[in-house]
């Protein structure tokens, strides 16, 4: 997954990910933000799943729902946030994006370093 971190004109950090993973960028920018405790907890959880100390984990944020299982991380929209007609034709039951555990951990570690 390719990603880039920038700050907007107000100084807020923004994550931009490649088109297949853009939901992860939106999730970091607007759902996780600068919540260092949540980021650290997710990194620790990913490491536990990688070490087979934990089978799976789910994290529900304001906009997105993350499922960590097996060797994959999938991100879904919280369906209650999508009551707009523009989304009626989309399949809301499936993941918006996915990536491997190591990729997600790498993304979160870099985000944590970026936000300081």
pLDDT of 12-48, one tens digit each? Answer: 999 999 999 999 999 999 999 999 999 999 999 999 9
pLDDT at 93: 64
3 state SS for the chain: CCEEEEECCCCCEEEEECHHHHHHHHHHHHHHCCCHHHHHHHHHHHHHHHCCCCCEEEEECCCEEEEEECCEEEEEECHHHCCCHHHCCCCCCCCCEEEEHHHHHHHHHHHHHHHC
pTM of the predicted protein model: 0.86
pLDDT at 70: 84
| Average pLDDT in the chain | 89
pLDDT at 83: 43
Mean pLDDT of 86-101: 70
């Amino acid at each position: 997954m390719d990603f880039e971190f920038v700050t907007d004109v107000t100084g807020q950090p923004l994550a931009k990910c490649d088109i297949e993973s853009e939901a992860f960028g939106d999730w970091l920018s607007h759902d996780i933000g600068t919540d260092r405790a949540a980021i650290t907890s997710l990194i620790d959880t990913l490491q536990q799943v990688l070490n087979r100390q934990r089978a799976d984990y789910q994290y529900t944020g304001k906009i997105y729902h993350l499922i960590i299982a097996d060797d994959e991380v999938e991100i879904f929209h919280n369906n209650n946030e999508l009551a707009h007609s523009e989304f009626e034709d989309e399949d809301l039951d499936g993941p918006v994006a996915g990536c491997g555990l190591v990729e997600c951990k790498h993304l979160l570690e870099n985000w944590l370093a970026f936000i300081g």
